[in-house]
Structures are given as structure tokens and as C-alpha cells.
């Protein structure tokens, strides 16, 4: 079965139909082309050629008279960081950004896919970290200019904004 677009989200369009779950890992949620099997064994091909799908929990991909194919994101091991103020938020996000790792945000916590070296680094720097199984659902979308050789950096701008904390 070929799927080329989302048809809605189960949260905003509830249904009494049987749900056939398509389980994705967090890093598969923005892939434009992939082949997968649903939990019932139905083979599907995703082909989002015109745009990034950014699939998330509850996205409906297919519907017929009896069944819906709905996305669920598999929980993974991740670091959960709950900064105590804006200065700590800026600092920890800068450290993670320097590693070019994806950031996720949930309620008052920053989530990052678990990596032992980063966990040790942030722990050694005094941040309070938890290692938990979580669904990484809300990626922080950022567009940052490349590093520059001189002048004011992104980090110095962030530090100025948080200086009053």
C-alpha cells in the first residue's frame, strides 16, 4: 500500500474503526521515504515526496470502511533535563546544540536521545538529569546561522538575555 500524505490526527478526528498501528522510532518521524509494516502485518510504503511529513503520535495515514492506520511513536531511552532557570536552560541547550543533537521539549523539560558521553558531561557540569523511557514527540525546530569567526555569537546573545536571572 502506498501512502503519500496524512489524512488527519486521531486526537482531532476520533473514530470507532479498528486501529492498525504503525510504530515508528523518533528518528523515523521525518523520513520522506520508507517501507514499514503495521502491527497487523500490513506492508506500507511511505512516499512524502513534496514535503517533510513530520509524523507524530496519532497521525492517520489510511482509512477504509473498517480500519484506520495510525502512527504511534515508540518510547526510547532519553535524557530528561529540567532547568531551574533561564540561564541554565540557555546553557544546557547550548551544550547540546554544540553536539548537533536533536532537542525535544515537553512541559518544563528538555529531552535528548540518550548518549552516555553527553550524560556524563552534563552531570559533571552540575545539571540535574534523569534517564527515562519517553516518547520524543515535540522536536524544537531551530534555524541558526553558521558559526562566525568574530563578533557577537549566539551564545553571547543568549547569555545577555539571561543575565538578569
Does residue 146 surpass a pLDDT of 50?
A: no
Is the pLDDT higher at 79 or at 139? 79
Is the pLDDT higher at 55 or at 50? 55
Q: pLDDT for 6-26, tens place per residue?
A: 999 999 887 889 999 999 999
- How remote is the C-alpha of 165 from its chain's centroid? 28
Across the range 63-79, mean pLDDT stands at 94
Q: Tell me the pLDDT of the chain averaged across its residues.
A: 86
Q: State the DSSP string of 9-53.
A: ETTTS---SEEEEEEE-GGGTT-SEEEEE-TT--EEEEE--SS--
Across the range 33-39, mean pLDDT stands at 95
Structural domains of the chain, with CATH: 2-73 (2.60.260.20), 76-162 (3.30.70.790)
Does residue 141 surpass a pLDDT of 80?
A: no
Amino acid at each position: 500500500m502506498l501512502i503519500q500524505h496524512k489524512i488527519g490526527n486521531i486526537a482531532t478526528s476520533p473514530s470507532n474503526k479498528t486501529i492498525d498501528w504503525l510504530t515508528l522510532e523518533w528518528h523515523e518521524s521525518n523520513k520522506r521515504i520508507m517501507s514499514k509494516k503495521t502491527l497487523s502485518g500490513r506492508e506500507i510504503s511511505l512516499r512524502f515526496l513534496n514535503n517533510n511529513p513530520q509524523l507524530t503520535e496519532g497521525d492517520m495515514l489510511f482509512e477504509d470502511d473498517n480500519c484506520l492506520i495510525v502512527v504511534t511513536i515508540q518510547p526510547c531511552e532519553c535524557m530528561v533535563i529540567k532547568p531551574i532557570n533561564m540561564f541554565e536552560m540557555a546553557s544546557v541547550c547550548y551544550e547540546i546544540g554544540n553536539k548537533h543533537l536533536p532537542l525535544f521539549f515537553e512541559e518544563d523539560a528538555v529531552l535528548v536521545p540518550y548518549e552516555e558521553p553527553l550524560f556524563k558531561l552534563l552531570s559533571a557540569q552540575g545539571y540535574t538529569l534523569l534517564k527515562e523511557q519517553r516518547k520524543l514527540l515535540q522536536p524544537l525546530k531551530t534555524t541558526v546561522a553558521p558559526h562566525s569567526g568574530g563578533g557577537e555569537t549566539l551564545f553571547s546573545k543568549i547569555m545577555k538575555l539571561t543575565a538578569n536571572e
